[in-house]
Amino acid sequence: MGVALALLVGPSTSMAQAPLPVGEAHGVRVVREKGAIVVVFTRRAAKLYRRIAGRLVDVDCTDQQPGQPVPPRAHAFLVPHHPGEITEESSGGVRMRAPRHRRRLVTGDLTRGMDYCRVWLAPRIVRRDGARQRIQRRLIVSVPLKISGWPSYAQLIDQFPSGARAGLASLAGPADTPPAGTIGYYSDRLDHVAVATLSRSNRRLFIELEADALHTNVAGYIFNER
């Protein structure tokens, strides 16, 4: 159970307390180059990028949680790697055409203090059955730039070498049991986190923290370990 305890008090605690300067989700990474936001689709996200290659996209980097209303685009960039002429202005966000081959969105956005960056396939007009139809914009990926609570499973395993990830499992809920031989991790990304494993006698061992309340059946191990 020592490894499970390390998961809870090691990288999880530091991540829960300190904001991440760079975020990543589903292989999509948000970085800054010369102070401006750049969205990088890694090889892992190549399939995701094919959905937007050569098409107009909206990049919204805001201090709002996903699901809240998003401000209009600040600029429409018609050239992938050079902002070019500004064709519209408003309160935030960027609309640009994604390069066909290079999986990078260079936004030119210098805004600081953002919590999330989201990439959307921009709304478009299509012709179906002889009529023009407007297709609403579609969310491609949402990348958290800061962690205000416990990290998600995906964010947690990114802190471990690839060879160590095989022993970790994602739990759908805090009371779930992981497969034998693994350590399960659950987080609501706020103030509820749990780790669990199975003992050699098939007993579920767990440590669960919800706000300030600690629940565990291995208290003796935690407090008596030398």
In the chain, % of residues over pLDDT 90: 31
Residue 84 confidence (pLDDT): 34
Residue 50 confidence (pLDDT): 94
Residue 24 confidence (pLDDT): 83
Task: Please indicate, yes or no, whether residues 155 and 134 belong to a single structural domain of this protein.
Answer: no
Task: Please indicate, yes or no, whether residues 89 and 163 belong to a single structural domain of this protein.
Answer: no
Task: Please indicate, yes or no, whether residues 63 and 81 belong to a single structural domain of this protein.
Answer: yes
97, 128, 144: which is the final residue of a domain?
144
DSSP annotation string for 59-117? EEEESS-TTS--PPPSEEE-STTS--S-----SS-EEEEPPSSS-EEE------S-SEE
> What residue ranges of the chain have pLDDT lower than 50?
5, 9-21, 68-91, 226
Question: What range defines the domain where residue 161 resides?
Answer: 2-16+149-224
Residue 66 confidence (pLDDT): 52
Q: pLDDT tens-digit profile of 45-56?
A: 999 999 999 999
Residue 76 confidence (pLDDT): 45
Q: Are strands 204-210 and 192-198 parallel, antiparallel or unpaired?
A: antiparallel
92, 122, 144: which is the final residue of a domain?
144
How many independent structural domains does the chain possess? 2
Q: pLDDT tens-digit profile of 73-96?
A: 444 444 344 443 333 333 357 889
pTM over the 0.85 mark: no
Distance CA 182, CA 167 (A): 5
What is the rounded radius of gyration, in angstroms, for the C-alpha atoms of the chain? 21
